[in-house]
């Protein structure tokens, strides 16, 4: 018996007269990798923004970990175990890699501005050390120990993407939302990122909802795929089932009905 960690029920979102999402419904199985694909402007990032709380849908319901989170703020969703990365990097460029990742632990801190000044007596020191140990585990997992003291803004694009993933992992999430984690990467960087996503899913048990244009990655690591087009859900199912759908092959992949989608390296 499968258990859903995320349920989306008839979500609609409009900006003025422009409909970004129309009655979209789907569920994500706990412990799975769920990919959302579709052409530019299909509503993929709008859906992630609704799930994470950046956007409030006009109608519908979002349930995460058996709680209605439709109207919760992003930080409240983070408290429940929801992490997020962005299509456009959202790191603090002037801060070190270590400090950027420590920001991901902020919502877990129990000491506040009243107890913080009593650093040695209030337990704040022990708490900080515990959080630093967790951050170091994430740094080791993502193999970025060699840049832990580097200023984030000086790093290559691929490494900054990895640091942003590290910060999302530092939240200690049950669910992580990845918005085009492979965008702008070369082949080697994509292979590394795909491996990290698989490992965080399998070793840490983190459920992944991912937007991605690289069909090779989607086919290789996804348990389920959903296609959006013009803000509407076209189809969802196993990767090979979705890629074999005639409408998807023609409208999204641009292939003839008898072509093999799994040979496609990348579709943008």
Instruction: Catalogue all structural domains in the chain, each as residue range(s) with its CATH number.
Output: 1-81+173-268 (3.40.50.300), 93-172 (no CATH)
Written as six digits, the tokens of 21 are 């999402």
What is the pTM assigned to this prediction? Answer: 0.84
* Rg of the chain on CA atoms, in Å: 19
Dump pLDDT digits (tens) for 159-189: 888 999 998 898 889 999 999 998 888 889 9
Percent with pLDDT over 90 in the chain: 53
Q: pLDDT at position 1, please?
A: 55
Q: pLDDT at position 104, please?
A: 72
Cross-strand partners of 18: 15
Dump pLDDT digits (tens) for 108-165: 555 544 445 544 454 556 666 777 888 889 999 999 999 989 999 899 888 888 999 9
Residue 260 exposure: Cα atoms within 13 Å on the Cβ side: 4
How far from 105 is each of 21, 29, 101, CA to CA, in Å? 32, 26, 7
In 3D, which of 81, 93, 106, 84 has the Cα closest to residue 159?
93
Block residue for tokens 């074999």: 244
Highest mean pLDDT among 186-190, 193-197, 256-260: 193-197
């Amino acid at each position: 018996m499968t258990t859903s960690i995320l349920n989306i029920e008839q979500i609609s979102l409009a900006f003025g007269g422009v409909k970004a999402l129309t009655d979209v419904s789907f569920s994500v199985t706990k412990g799975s990798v769920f990919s959302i694909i579709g052409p530019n402007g299909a509503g993929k990032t709008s859906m992630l923004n609704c799930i994470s709380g950046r956007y409030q849908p006009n109608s519908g319901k979002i349930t995460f970990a058996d709680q209605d989170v439709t109207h919760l703020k992003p930080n409240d969703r983070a408290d429940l175990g929801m992490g997020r990365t962005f299509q456009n990097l959202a790191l603090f460029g002037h801060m070190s890699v270590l400090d950027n990742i420590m920001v991901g632990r902020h919502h877990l801190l129990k000491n506040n501005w009243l107890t913080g000044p009593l650093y040695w007596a209030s337990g704040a020191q022990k708490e900080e050390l515990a959080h630093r140990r967790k951050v170091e585990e994430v740094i080791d997992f993502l193999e970025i120990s060699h840049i832990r003291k580097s200023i984030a803004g000086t790093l290559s694009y691929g490494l900054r993407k990895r640091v942003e993933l590290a910060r999302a992992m530092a939240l200690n999430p049950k669910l992580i939302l990845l918005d085009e984690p492979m965008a702008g990467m070369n082949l080697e960087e994509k292979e590394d990122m795909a491996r990290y996503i698989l490992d965080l899913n399998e070793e840490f048990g983190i459920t992944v909802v991912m937007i991605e244009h690289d069909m090779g990655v989607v086919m290789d690591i996804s348990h389920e795929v959903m296609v959006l087009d013009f803000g509407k859900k076209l189809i969802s199912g196993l990767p090979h089932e979705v890629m074999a759908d005639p409408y998807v092959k023609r409208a999204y992949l641009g292939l003839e009905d008898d072509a093999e989608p799994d040979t496609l390296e990348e579709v943008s």
